[in-house]
Structure 1
Amino acid sequence: MRFPFALLLAGLLAHAAAAAGPEITPLPPVEAAEWKEVRVAAGELVWFQAQPASTWDFIDDGVKGRAVEDGKVAGLVCGPGRHRVIVTARDGSRSRFVFVAGGPEPGPRPPEPVPVDALAKELRDLLAADPSPTKRADLQALSALYALMVGEADATVDDVGPDGQKRKRPAYETAAALNATFVRARDSMLKGPGDAAPRLPALRKRCGDEVAAVAGTDPDAPVTDATRAKLKAVYGRLARAVADAAK
């Protein structure tokens, strides 16, 4: 059975004309070429206002409408489904709408899932197995040290070039030299007076593997700009992963 839009619209418009002050909703703003969705109740007369006066084109068979007040206002009735309406102003600009009738209002969009950092999870497991009573405080300090290493990778020292002019040169010529600075600071921080070795051995090794994968195994290999950028990235990632593991 077809939905009797024309008959229903005529009756509803007549009823609205006799009633005092129907509720009129301003049309929402629309970007150029955008189809703006507007939700309405199926089978109910709804009124919308356009600014300025416009021509209303009810494209789909499932929506019937009539413009009044020289096109400033239109009443329309939608059957269940999605129905297109184009509102054209006197200057030729167009606003495109899709009136969605029937069904409940959409609920709030669920939050995007937080990506799981596999390295942080692995470090958390290693932390759980470590017996040290100071392990969480140690991890917070270790995270801060990794964050400092991001800047340390760009450290420079004063030098004199072949032309006798003063210049700046990288403080670390090799990845091994840069990492050695970190290891000395880390082990000093994680080894107390009564400790035979630095604390968190398994976690330290796992983090060291991440750095070694970027720094390589040749102790004399020079640090290129590309390697320095990769080292900064891995130090930054370890700072975040260690901080997450400490939570």
Structure 2
Amino acid sequence: MPKAFFITGTDTDAGKTLVTSGLLAAARHQGLTTAGGKPVASGCERTVEGLRNADALAIQAQCRPALDYDTINPVAFEPAIAPHIAAAEANVALSVSALAAPMRALLAREADLTLIEGAGGWRVPLNERESLSDLAVALALPVIVVVGVRLGAINHARLTLEAIRHDGLPVAGWVANGIDPRMPRREENLDSLAGWLGEEGGVPCLGVVPWLATPAPERAADWLELEPLIHATPPRKTHESQ
């Protein structure tokens, strides 16, 4: 049965793309079909083929069968700034409806595993009224939270979990991603995260990715657990949505 999830992070540069591409790589290695989406991306480079985003390209490399770039990343902006500001500067109407249509088309391909990666954290604005979280709600996808393990991670992770559940979506799992190689009391912080998100929050940990000097999807895949996503019963919506 095809499975699909929305990937969010506790902050910008938490490691969403590394985890997204790592999970897709793990699925490919098991012979599963894969698809990934990056509905909106800032910080793109101009190429002869048009604007290209490094995160979207990393996701594209793990899609089997192969997908066109525009299928993965339908809205791209050159400046590395917040999407709603980039859209305003480019005179582009950015909205949930504009992003939901291409992502629904991606989901309709029914790959064994489809992952749609957000931008920044859960409440990144799209316009004056809507946020990327509204896109996840519109698509009705369970959410995977990537926790960037650094000082402040526990607070950011707990607030993100609360916000997702407040919006009525189930949290399918969380991943700890080591982004600070010098973080003091790393193990103690991981234990606290496991307690708050796992024992208290009831959310399974899908892996603890250590700090990687040379990040790569195949290396991240070695630290990630795919089975809870592929074989688990779809999580129920939280009580706020019932």
Scaled by the length of structure 1, what TM-score is found?
0.22
Q: Greater Rg, structure 1 or structure 2?
A: 1
Scaled by the length of structure 2, what TM-score is found?
0.22
The higher relative CO (CA closer than 8 Å, separation ≥ 6) is in 2
